[in-house]
Amino acid sequence: MKLFEAALLACSAFAASAAHAADPVAVYPSKPIKIIVPFSPGGPTDVYARLLGSKLQEKLGQPVVVENRAGGGAIIGTAAVARAPADGYTLLFTASTHVISVQLQKERQFDPVKSFAPVSTMLTYPFYLVVNNKLPVASVQELIAYGKANPGKLTYGSVGVGSGAHLMGEMFKSQAGIDALHVPYKGAAEFLQAVVAGQVDYVFDSPGSAQPLVNAGRVRGFAVTSPKRWPMVPNVPTMQESGLAGFEGALWLGLLAPAGTPDNIVQSLNTKVSEILRSSDVRTRIETGGFQVLSESPDAFRQRLVRDGQMWGEVIRRNHITAD
């Protein structure tokens, strides 16, 4: 009898083990994970994707490979993840462009919310209004007054049509009641040099990129678009302090999976990302770059996608902005 009971227990244990092994969620991850970045190498999204990937590899015990798949204003790489198997082995690390670019297309290849399972945000940062030294203004209100006194004379730069800097520039024009010509550039380095050289009068950039130029006296920093003053530039007022009530906007970087990815996998990844963002070395690296850590639950991230999509979509529609 004892021998029979022992055999029965052994069979039960084997069956449970086999069932566990057959459950892909229970053994996740059991193979390498790919993180697709829908931008070219070298930019902030790529840099922080690689930082997150290396830390996830340590925690998950499986290789995490970052692959750049740029093109189409982030559409190509993002669409590839939307079509990928919903098993947690193909992820997307992207920026706020995620809810912007698709709204500029006539035909959408994916829905920025419904086609994905949000995992977690990683960091956030506001825009920083910086102005050419030669422009005879010393504050946001003086810039607005100059624009009203010289209709059509002001120019502002961005990293391209439909970029966050472009949309923020359009928001500023609308709320300030001024007219200014948008001048798109191919990248951040070009449009920052444009404001330094006076080819454009002002730009909206990140504090991390613009503040070194402000410190060097090559441009002037007027305001940030965060609801409160930004830690990296505590002496710079917000746009709301500068007289534009309710004027704010921020960008983010975050991790998403294809829609339908099992909740257990999404929650497991969210827990690991949260642990990574609590580590002092990662936090220090993010803050040194002029950003702030932003660790959100999948539900909170989803709400952010919806909210940001509505906000930027309104700007796009009101100003008839398209990718063409």
**pLDDT digits 0-9 by tens, 160-203:** 888 999 999 999 999 999 999 999 998 778 888 999 999 999 99
Are 186 and 107 in contact by the 8 Å Cβ rule? The answer is no
Task: Please determine, for residue 294, whether its predicted confidence score (pLDDT) is greater than 50.
Answer: yes
pTM of the model: 0.87
pLDDT in tens, 1-28: 455 455 545 554 554 454 444 566 678 9
Task: Please determine, for residue 106, whether its predicted confidence score (pLDDT) is greater than 90.
Answer: no
How far is Cα 120 from Cα 89, in angstroms, rounded to an integer? Answer: 16
How far is Cα 162 from Cα 103, in angstroms, rounded to an integer? Answer: 9
Q: Which two tokens stand for residue 229?
A: 């003053």
Average pLDDT over residues 92-111: 92
Average pLDDT over residues 290-317: 95
Residue 108's pLDDT is what? 87
Residue 16's pLDDT is what? 46
Q: Which two tokens stand for residue 88?
A: 């947690």
Q: DSSP character for 237?
A: P
- DSSP letter for each residue of 89-127: SEEEEEEGGGGTGGGG-SS-SS-TTTTEEEEEEEEEEE-
Average pLDDT over residues 81-95: 97
Residue 324's pLDDT is what? 63
pLDDT in tens, 204-251: 999 999 999 999 999 999 999 999 999 999 999 999 999 999 999 999
Task: Please determine, for residue 110, whether its predicted confidence score (pLDDT) is greater than 60.
Answer: yes
Beta bridge partners of 181: 155
